[in-house]
Structure 1
Amino acid sequence: MDIEALRTFVAVAGTGQFQAAADELGISQQAASKRIAALERHVGATLLVRTSRGSRLSVDGQIFLPHAKKVMATIEQAEHAVRPGHRPLRVDVLNRRISPAQAVYRFYRSHPETDLDAVTLGTRNAAQAAQAVLEGTVDATFRALPADQIPTGISAERLLDEPLELLVGPGHPLADMPRVSPADLHGHRIWIPGIRPGTEWAAFYRSLSEAFGLSIDALGPDFGDEALMDTLADSAELATLVGSGDRYLWPRTHDLRRIPLHDPTPVYPHVLLFRSGDRHPVLTALRDHLRASGPRTPPDVWTPAWSGR
């Protein structure tokens, strides 16, 4: 059924005049007549009867009108729901413990009137997440995606460079260091369970390992963050890498140590991907907030060559 024809029928029924309805809709009277004729052919009934004073509803038209109004009201509600600012902004934050989620949470705390949903797309890689943005599953996602892999229709803004830190237990040889360089990690096993081939974080850690000759692996099952914290606390050999803005909690008795990296400082380049031309006001506010409040990029920064800096 032609929605514009239905809209025209409701307008004519309301004004009682084809010309008045046409003026209201911004079309010609002839166009309005053609729409009504097409609608009547579609439903197989005469809906409007022309008179010397304009038009009136036929018996079938009187029965049809309430249903037509309901359809038009539903369409108006649907259109209103997806207009910028009339629904929550849906942001993929990868994992609720890591820096993008914490940044979005801080944004919400400073803008409590905003309407947004923080979601996670689970195991999807960067290309799949970008496709989800194009399809409208989410409005934006944080990914480390090379510029030459950004799909048409997607805009990208690198807004969250996250410095890495070493996380170790109290028995680790580097546990008492105030800070360490990547060179200091030679010979130490860095365990990051959950790295999956084909993901952007796999590409990042491969580049980091190759650049500094590090031993980074994902061997063994991933039983979650709590199990990783337990293992680090009991080990004098294992270490892992976390973002400086990532939020991990562990029992006080674990006595885990977060040690900044420097000389150079590896940073994970979180890029915000969103649909080109998206005018959602919360997206604009979030981008402004991240530009103003993101972590300060250290002077000795290192990122993979494919990250664009």
Structure 2
Amino acid sequence: MDLEAVRTYLAVAEAGQFQKAAVDLAITQQAVSKRIAALERDLGVRLFTRTPRGAEATIDGQAFLPHARELLRVADRAVASVHTARRPLRVDVINLRGAASGLMRAFHGAHPGTELDVVKLLDIDEAVAAIRSGAVDASFRAVGSPGRPLPDDLAAVRVVDERLELLTGPGHVLAGAHAVTARQLAGHRIWMPGILPGSEWAAYYDDLTAEFGLTIEATGPNFGSDALLDTIAETPALATFMSDGTRLVWPAGHGLRRIPLTDPTPVYPHSLVWHRDNPHPALAALRSYLAATKAAHDAPGTWVPGWVHPD
């Protein structure tokens, strides 16, 4: 069904005249007549009767009126859903409990009128494809991992470094330490189920273990953070890594310890990635907000893999 013909039908119904409808639509009266005739052929009914005063809707024309209005409302909503000035800004944060999610909450607090859709995509290749297709407007990623250069039509800026901490249960041999070095963890069992092979965070932890002589066990099913915390609390031989920006709550009886890593402190680098031609006004606002609030990265006493995006 031709929506312009439906729009013309509504103009005639509201004006009561073909001539007035033509003026309102800025087209000729002949064009109005042709559109109405075409719509009547599509529907198989007469929509108007010509009268000395203009045009009156037939019984069928009156029945069609509310449906025609709804058709145009749906069409207008469909157009608005893909119009960058009207649809929400879609951003991938990987993890709803991590630093990137915290940044988006802070941005929304500073710009409460901005509509946001926050999504989670696991793999950087999936995120890059979503940015290039327009499925998302931006993504927080560790950029530069080997074999995964960003396409030329994407841009990235480093926005936050998350410091890694050691998480242990109360019975772990290091539970009472105020701080530990990464090299002191050699020989200890670091358990991190759910590391996705080929992901940028898998590349990060591969370099971390190689640099400091560590062993990370990624075995077993990943039942989520609550199950991970239960296991760490109950198993003195196990510890795990957690960033200082991760917000988790556990039962008081777990007695878990978050222990800073020092000399150097491994940090996980997050960059905002977006398409260079993305015109969404809220994306520009997000980039400005992050530029104004980001802390310095590559601080003395910290460590990142050599492939990490420097800027």
TM-score range, shorter chain: 0.7 to 0.9
Q: Compute the displacement of 1:199 (Å).
A: 2.9
3-state SS of 1:259 partner = strand
Q: How many residues align?
A: 306
C-alpha spacing 1:16/1:241, structure 2 compared with 1 (3 Å): same
Q: Cα deviations across residues 70-104 of structure 1 (Å, max 9, x unaligned)?
A: 32233334444555565654544333322222333
- How much does 1:120 deviate? 4.0
Determine the structure 2 residue equivalent to 1:277. 278
Is 1:228 the equivalent of 2:223? no
**Pair 1:196-2:196 in alignment:** yes
**Separation in 2 of the partners of 1:234 and 1:64?**
68
Residue 128 (structure 1) aligns with: 126
Q: 1:291: which partner in 2?
A: 291
What is the alpha-carbon root mean square deviation over aligned residues?
Answer: 3.8
**What TM-score, normalized to structure 1?**
0.76
Alignment match, 1:165: 165
1:302 aligns to what?
303
The answer to whether the Cα contact below 8 Å between 1:162 and 1:295 also exists between their aligned partners in 2 is no
Equivalent runs, 1:80-91 vs 2, <5 Å:
80=80, 83-84=83-84, 88-91=88-91
How far is the alpha carbon of 1:8 from its aligned partner?
A: 1.9
> Structure 1: 5+ residue runs without aligned partners?
none
1:102 alignment counterpart: 102
Shift in CA distance, 175/67, structure 1 to aligned 2, threshold 3 Å = closer
Length-normalised TM-score, structure 2: 0.76
Report the residue type matching 1:232 in the other structure: I
Q: CA 1:41–1:304 in structure 2 vs 1: closer, same or farther (change >3 Å)? A: farther
CA contact (8 A) 2:89 2:280 kept: no
User: What SS does the aligned partner of 2:291 have?
Assistant: helix
Shift of 1:289: 3.5
Relative to structure 1, is the Cα distance of residues 116 and 174 closer, same or farther in structure 2, using a 3 angstrom cutoff?
same
Q: What percentage of residue pairs aligned between the two structures are identical?
A: 49
Whether the 8 Å CA contact 2:160–2:297 is kept in 1: the answer is no
Deviation for aligned residue 1:2: 1.1
The answer (yes or no) to whether the contact 2:137–2:278 under 8 Å persists in 1 is: no
Distance change (3 Å), C-alpha of 1:50 and 1:130: farther
Q: Is the partner of 2:216 in helix, strand or coil?
A: strand
Task: Note if contact 2:22-2:28 (Cα within 8 Å) is conserved in structure 1.
Answer: yes
Aligned residue runs from structure 1 range 1-309, under 5 A? 1-18=1-18, 20-29=20-29, 31-48=31-48, 55-58=55-58, 60-80=60-80, 83-84=83-84, 88-112=88-112, 114-120=114-120, 124-132=122-130, 140-146=138-144, 150=150, 156-273=156-273, 276-279=277-280, 281=282, 283-300=283-300, 301-309=302-310
SS at 1:162 equivalent:
strand
Query: How far apart are 1:50 and its partner, in Å?
Result: 6.0
